[in-house]
Amino acid sequence: MSISPLLSGNVARNCHPVGCQAYVQQQVDYINSLPKLQTIKNVLIIGGSSGFGLASRVALTQSCHSNSLSVSMERGPSEKGMGSAGWYNNVFAKQQAEALGLRSDNIIADAFSLETMQSTVDYFKANYAGKIDLVIYSLASGKRIDGEQTWFSCLKTAEQTMHGYSLNLETDSLTPDQVGPASQDELEATAKVMGGEPWLQWIEVLANADLLNSGCKTLAFSYIGPELTAPIYRDGSIGFAKQNLHLHAGLINTKFRDLSIQAMPCVAKALVTKASVFIPVMSPYIAALYDVMKHKELHEETIQQAYRLLSEHLFPKSGEAQLDDEGCLRIDDWELREDVQAQVNKQLDGLSPENFKQRLDYQGYKQSFLQLNGFGFEHIDYSSELDSQWLAQLRP
């Protein structure tokens, strides 16, 4: 059996295991081309199978010699198909860590459930030496189930309908799109899913089990972005949830002062991930940003962001984490540079379905998306048969 990419809209319906291995390997190689960083013994990553969580895990493993326990929700291969890219990312991230003699495990379970939090504690106690030094919270989800209740997050504005365009990866086109306002209930539900309440719950469960080292750091990924995307992001339902996330950093810091826990939102740059391609009218901005930042040699993917986060912001040589006035780590600093934003605005001004391939780095945007699912690697022969014996022995 050979596999080629299947897209419906901006959803990848399949993935390529050999390509997922290449995707992880590419991240490992990048980190190994850079100076090693200080040792961070044990890390817990909630959402470590893709995007920012995976990149952080690879950077910590390779550069900080960290043992890593990751919790994620992914599908393995079955009669129904190959499973999800994140499942293979888990497999190869673990292999890469074990090759260095490190402990690395994947818990595949719902990170919003208290039972998962408790079983993660039990698993850590049974299998790891010492306590946890860093907790990374990197979930992106459309829903959260908590006991009897289910909340759904939405991607809408707060008040006005926003008109714009979205990129369609299936048809390689730019199409008019619009997003309307969220109701108060929708705003609150989005904050339940993408806000900070489960982050705080995780820290409570871990602290109650006495698993957090004094001085343990914890960060959650966030986004702010420019004026241009404010109606759909910063001021919209997802921005409302991010405010809730930032609020919870403060709550964690206050509640666990005695343990010297340091909680920080980490504001990252906009880039292509499984989650971000869903945000309506946001994709032209991201693809313009790719173009501008590549031309200025400032372009970063998740792995470049993860290394810069660790080396310059979270564990700089000076010792203390580098935070802004609001207590956030800011790895969106290059995206928000004035010259970058001015050029992005210029390229988006007058954007149309006819000129978008000249104005945006559509090719690069799509390539990044394909690679998230193990496609689009030049050195892989996608027409060749998958080795079923190799596949059958993969373990997350």
If binding is defined by CB under 6 A, does position 268 make contact with ligand NAI? Answer: yes
Whether residue 233 lies in the annotated active site: yes
Q: Among 42, 66, 222, 368, which residue sits at the site for ligand NAI (rule: CB under 6 A)?
A: 222
Nearest approach in angstroms of CB 101 to Na ion is 25
Site for Na ion in 133-162 (CB under 5 A): 138
* Residue located via tokens 């027409």: 383
Q: Among 5, 17, 53, 86, which residue sits at the site for Na ion (rule: CB under 5 A)?
A: 53
Proportion of the chain in helix, strand, coil states, percent, rounded to 5: 40, 20, 40
Nearest approach in angstroms of CB 73 to ligand NAI is 4
Contact (Cβ atoms closer than 8 angstroms) between residue 323 and residue 329: yes
Nearer to ligand NAI, 213 or 276 (CB): 276
Question: The tokens of 199 are what?
Answer: 């982050």
For residue 70, give the amino acid letter.
S
Expressed in angstroms, the distance from the first to the final Cα of the chain is 22
Contact (Cβ atoms closer than 8 angstroms) between residue 245 and residue 265: yes
Question: The tokens of 158 are what?
Answer: 């707060």
Q: Which of 88, 165, 233, 290 is catalytic?
A: 233
Nearest approach in angstroms of CB 174 to ligand NAI is 19
For residue 55, give the amino acid letter.
A
Contact (Cβ atoms closer than 8 angstroms) between residue 330 and residue 258: no
3-state secondary structure of 61: helix
**Residue 139, contacted partner among ligand NAI, Na ion, none, CB below 5-8 A by kind:** ligand NAI
- Of 250, 320, 324, 236, nearest to 282 (Cα)? 236
If binding is defined by CB under 6 A, does position 369 make contact with ligand NAI? Answer: no
Site for ligand NAI in 38-77 (CB under 6 A): 47-53, 71-74
Nearest approach in angstroms of CB 311 to ligand NAI is 19
Nearest approach in angstroms of CB 391 to ligand NAI is 21
If binding is defined by CB under 6 A, does position 277 make contact with ligand NAI? Answer: no
Nearer to ligand NAI, 53 or 231 (CB): 53
For residue 395, give the amino acid letter.
R
**Residue 71, contacted partner among ligand NAI, Na ion, none, CB below 5-8 A by kind:** ligand NAI
* Residue located via tokens 């959650």: 220
If binding is defined by CB under 6 A, does position 169 make contact with ligand NAI? Answer: no
Site for ligand NAI in 106-145 (CB under 6 A): 110-112, 138-141
Contact (Cβ atoms closer than 8 angstroms) between residue 227 and residue 207: no
Element (H, E) at 216: strand 212-222
Contact (Cβ atoms closer than 8 angstroms) between residue 396 and residue 89: no
Nearest approach in angstroms of CB 129 to ligand NAI is 25
Instruction: List interacting residues with ligand NAI (CB under 6 A).
Output: 47-53, 71-74, 86, 110-112, 138-141, 221-223, 268, 270-271, 273-276
Instruction: List interacting residues with Na ion (CB under 5 A).
Output: 47, 51-53, 138
Residues belonging to the active site: 233
